[in-house]
Amino acid sequence: MASVSAPPKTGVLPSPRKGNPALTLIAVCFGLFMVGLDSTVVHIANPAIQADLDATFGELQWVINAYLLALAVCLIPAGKLGDRFGRKKIYILGVFLFGITSVAIGLIGSIEGVLVFRALQGVSAALLMPQTIALLRSTFSREKFGMAVGIWGGVSSVSIAGGPLVSGLLVQSAGWQWVFYINVPIALLGIVMAVLVVRETASEKGGRIDFMGIILLAAALFAVVFAVVQAQGWGWGSGATVGVFVAALVLFALFVLVESRVANPLLPLDLFKSAGVSVGGLVFLANFFSILGVTFLLTLFLMNSLGHNTATAGLMMLPMSFFAIPSAPIGAFLTSRIGPRKVAAMGLGLMAAGLALLTLVGVDTPYWMMAVPFVIIAFGSGFAIPSGADLIVGGAPVHLAGVASGFQTTCIQVGGAIGTAILSAIVAGRVIPAVAETSLPADATEGASAGVVFDGFPGVNGAFVDGMHLGLWVAAALCAVTAAIVVLAIRELKHHDLETVLEESAEAVAGHR
pLDDT category, 356, cuts 50, 70, 90?
A: very high
The verdict on 269 and 256 lying in the same domain is: no
What pLDDT shows up at residue 186? 94
pLDDT greater than 50 at residue 102: yes
Which domain does 288 fall in, by range?
A: 21-209+264-510
How many of the other CB atoms lie within 10 Å of CB of 438?
14
> Does position 2 have pLDDT exceeding 60, yes or no?
no
Asked if pLDDT for residue 377 goes beyond 50, the answer is yes
* 167 closest CA partner among 154, 182, 150, 157: 182
Q: For residue 500, what pLDDT is reported? A: 66
Q: What is the mean pLDDT of the chain?
A: 83
Residues 294 and 436 placed together within one structural domain of the fold: yes
Q: What is the mean pLDDT of residues 302-325?
A: 86
> Comparing C-alpha atoms, which of 87, 79, 109 is closest to residue 180?
109
What CATH number is attached to the domain comprising 123? 1.20.1250.20
Domain match, 313 and 458 both? yes
10 Å Cβ neighbour count for 439?
A: 8
Q: Is the per-residue pLDDT at 87 higher than 70? A: yes
| Greater model confidence, 276 or 426 | 426
Pairwise CA distance, residues 367 & 43, whole Å: 19
Q: Which of 200, 231, 263 is the last residue of a domain?
A: 263
Cα–Cα dist 77/75, whole Å? 6
The single-letter DSSP state of residue 271 is: G
Cis upstream peptide for 8 (omega within 30°)? no
In a shared domain, residues 339 and 232: no
Residues 241 and 116 in one domain: no
**Exposed, middle or buried, 404 (CB in 10 Å: 0-12/13-18/19+)?**
buried
Q: Does 364 share its domain with 429? A: yes
End-to-end C-alpha distance for the chain, whole angstroms? 20
What pLDDT does 255 receive?
A: 92
Check whether 196 has a pLDDT greater than 50: yes
CA distance 315 to 277: 37
pLDDT band at 493 (very low <50, low <70, confident <90, very high): low
Contact of 407 with 267, CB cutoff 8 Å: yes
pLDDT > 70 fraction of the chain, expressed in percent and rounded: 88
Region 312-329 average pLDDT: 84
Total count of residues recorded for the chain? 513
Question: 307 and 255 share a domain?
Answer: no
Instruction: Kindly tell me if the per-residue pLDDT of 92 is higher than 90.
Output: yes
Asked if residue 11 has pLDDT above 70, the reply is no
Residues 478 and 379 reside in one and the same domain: yes
CA distance 27 to 190: 6
Asked whether the beta carbons of 417 and 225 are under 8 A apart, the reply is yes
Residue 145 reports pLDDT greater than 50: yes
Is 54 a residue whose pLDDT tops 60? yes
The residue among 410 and 509 whose pLDDT is bigger is 410
For 330, counting Cβ atoms within 10 Å of its Cβ (0-12 exposed, 13-18 middle, 19+ buried), the class is: middle
d(CA 178, CA 102): 9
d(CA 370, CA 381): 17
For residues 193 and 110, state if they share a domain.
Answer: yes
User: Residue 505's pLDDT is what?
Assistant: 61
pLDDT above 90: percentage of residues in the chain:
31
Q: Is there a single domain that holds both residue 258 and residue 366?
A: no
Could you tell me if 89 and 133 lie in one domain?
yes
Instruction: Supply the pLDDT for residue 16.
Output: 41
- pLDDT-derived band at 4 (thresholds 50, 70, 90) equals very low
pLDDT at residue 402, as a whole number? 60
* pTM, rounded to two decimals: 0.80
Average pLDDT over residues 315-338: 84
Q: Could you tell me if residue 1 is inside a domain?
A: no
Q: Does the pLDDT value for residue 1 go beyond 50? A: no
With 80 as the cut, is the pLDDT of residue 265 above it? Answer: yes
The pLDDT score that the predictor gives to residue 227 is 86
Within a domain: 402: yes
pLDDT of res. 104:
96
Q: Read off the amino acid at residue 468.
A: M
Task: Report yes or no on 334 lying in a domain.
Answer: yes
16 within a domain of the structure (yes/no): no
Number of domains in the chain: 2
Q: Of 235, 263, 291, which one is at a domain's C-terminal end? A: 263
225 and 183 inside one domain = no
Separation CA 438–CA 489 (nearest Å): 49
Higher local confidence (pLDDT), 442 or 384 = 384
